[in-house]
A and B are shown apart, each in its own frame.
Chain A
Amino acid sequence: MSNNSKIDLDTLKKLGKLSRIPIDKAGSNKLMEDLNKIIDFIEQLNEVNTDNVSPLSSVTGHNLPIREDVVDDGNKNNDVLENAPEKNSGYFVVPKVIE
């Protein structure tokens, strides 16, 4: 890997932490190589002058529609819980977070 790699092992571990995807030792070199390849590729954009250009985040060309703000819980409690891996008394169940 080249010396000017943007993503080193520390950065990779940080990304793994932020995205909740654990980095296994065996695959970390290959992953770093792949990610740096992509970073090198996207850095082509530095060739483009974007002074005074405003960023484009949506192509719809229309403003977001506004609707009446009504109180409505959807009455979908059972639907929402339908696919939960673990549920109890109308709630999702997760591993204990408070000692």
Chain B
Amino acid sequence: MSNLLQFSISEVLSLLEKKEFSTKELVETYINAIEKTKDLNMYLTTCFDQALEQAKISDQNYLNGNQRFLEGIPLGVKDMFCTKGIETTASSKILKKFIPTYESTVTQNLLKEGAINLGKLSCDEFAMGSSNETAAKGEVINPWNFEEKRTPGGSSGGSAAAVAAKAALAATGTDTGGSIRQPAAFCGVVGLKPTYGRCSRWGIVAFASSLDQAGPITRNVSDAALMLQVMSGYDPKDSTSSNINVPNFYNDLGKSIKGIKIGIPEEYNSNGISSDILEAKDITINFLKENGAEIIPVKLPLTKYSLPVYYIVAPAEASSNLARYDGVRYGHRINGNSLDEMYENTRNLGFGDEVKRRIMIGTYVLSSGYYDAYYLKAQKVRRLIKNEFNEIFKQVDYLVTPTTPTTAFKLGSTQDLLTMYLNDVFTVPASLAGIPGISIPIKLDNNKLPVGIQILGKDFDEQGLLNVANVIESCASFKDTPNGAAS
């Protein structure tokens, strides 16, 4: 068989079943691809020996006809997921040499169904960033026009880049304010943030607990459906995970979108949005019209307050969650003459600048005298934002927006904090409301960089989201491959 890297998950599953090639060959091909794309700096840790052992089991299962749902599918795992026996650092120095003694529920769900972990993918430190530049081991390079050294986006930059560069068949990501959708858009792949509560957060390094959600990053929409199906499900170990039926996302793909109502929010239009992105939005609207959807312009006036809410709520939760990194129980310790000095030395050298800033902002907005003015105020505006989405979803079934205001920028080009934060201006609102969102590639811009479009839906309507995405995907027929991809 010629080039195994070209096949999607569903294709690989059917070819493995037909014994066109073995899982061992497939895994070896991906290991080779990872070696070839080393310069993109995507993998922090690899576990090839374990992957090859798993491949043997998968091949045996295919031989006996006992194959599981994702038998033999080689994945990359974002370094935010705890993986038993495999170093997990959240791209932070403070978790250097941390080897979890347990597996996160989401990765366990994938392994249980036969998926194979190739290694851990880089991200912004503790998932705090939109460019992968805050990663302790250095930034990932976007495989598109790789010689120009552009950002893959963040925080799941390693995941999106690896899928685009064919150094993983699919990858896991986490999304707190856009960390799956924005890098997926920048790397020309599909990224799905499920409804808050769809996937268990157990065993995922916590950033902002009321926002964090795991999801798949894949080559196409049907692969996202396959991955989501396995990643989802109620978990008693996460009290916020929802005890709700997981549909057969993959089998139910392909429904017509005739007559469904698509809202186009006029506010998702600001902040120096590039003309290529507006053009991609118009193209998408035409695809939807051609397929019988009704296009309705809508207003979401609170959109501009989403980022300020996010930059209170997320740092507040982070400052609390990251209090656990004290050099006592795990991770890196820098000694001192007293307990306090040990804490301070450990945290000072263990955390990077962006993480420190967010911990301090979080500490400030939660501190006595400021709590009501900032934290409580943000929670109230968050309620209004959620209500605004609830109201709009009485009028329309889905919303279609650009995923990002720009395409992938050059690494090191964005020095201003707030300019960096504005990357997430179109993705943060859905995170605050907890609703699902997906980004899919539409076209390339003038610089030959991918442009992504975002679809948002009601709570737990990932199926509908995937159906709409599926229709847009087949119309867009985005088939380009980055020049930095393995072949």
Contacts and interface: CB of A to CB of B under 8 A. Distances in A.
Interface of A: 7, 11-12, 14-16, 18-22, 31, 34-35, 37-39, 41-48, 50, 53-62, 64-65, 67, 76, 79-80, 82-86, 92, 94-95, 97
Given A21-B351, A60-B240, A95 B384 contact: no
A36 to B, nearest CB: 10
Contacts of B323: 19
A35 B374 contact: no
Contacts of A18: 363, 367
Looking at chain A's contact residues, the main secondary structure is loop
Contacts of A80: 329
Given A34-B357, A58-B210, A41 B308 contact: yes
B311 interface: yes
Given A62-B242, A82-B99, A85-B332, A53 B380 contact: yes
Looking at chain B's contact residues, the main secondary structure is helix
A11 B368 CA distance: 12
B302 interface: yes
Nearest to A66: B239
B7 interface: no
Nearest to A97: B339
B337 interface: yes
Contact of B196 (A35, A60, A65, A76): A60
A60 B197 contact: yes
B173 to A, nearest CB: 19
B379 A86 contact: no
25 contacts: A15-B363, A19-B360, A20-B344, A20-B347, A35-B361, A38-B311, A43-B308, A48-B305, A50-B384, A53-B384, A55-B382, A56-B380, A57-B379, A58-B240, A59-B196, A59-B197, A62-B242, A76-B101, A80-B329, A83-B97, A83-B98, A83-B99, A83-B331, A95-B335, A95-B338
B364 A35 contact: yes
B386 interface: yes
Contacts of B197: 59-60, 62
A65 B380 CA distance: 25
Contacts of A44: 304-305, 308
B360 A35 contact: yes
Nearest to A62: B242
Contacts of B254: none
Nearest to A44: B308
Contacts of B210: 57-59
Nearest to A86: B333
Interface in B325-348: 326-333, 335-345, 347-348
Contacts of B110: none
A21 to B, nearest CB: 5
Size bracket, chain B contacts:
35 or more
A39 B364 contact: yes
B359 interface: yes
A39 B361 CA distance: 8
Of all A-B residue pairs in the complex, the 10 with the closest CB atoms, nearest first, are: A59-B434, A55-B379, A83-B330, A85-B333, A56-B383, A50-B380, A79-B101, A53-B380, A20-B343, A42-B308
A97 B336 CA distance: 12
A61 B341 CA distance: 42
Interface string B408-436: 00000000011001000000000011100
Contacts of A79: 101-102
Contact of A42 (B312, B342, B363): B312
Contacts of A20: 326, 340, 343-344, 347
Contacts of B332: 85
Given A41-B418, A48-B384, A50-B381, A59 B433 contact: yes
A79 to B, nearest CB: 4
User: Which of A21, A83, A94 has the most chain B CB within a 10 Å cutoff?
Assistant: A21
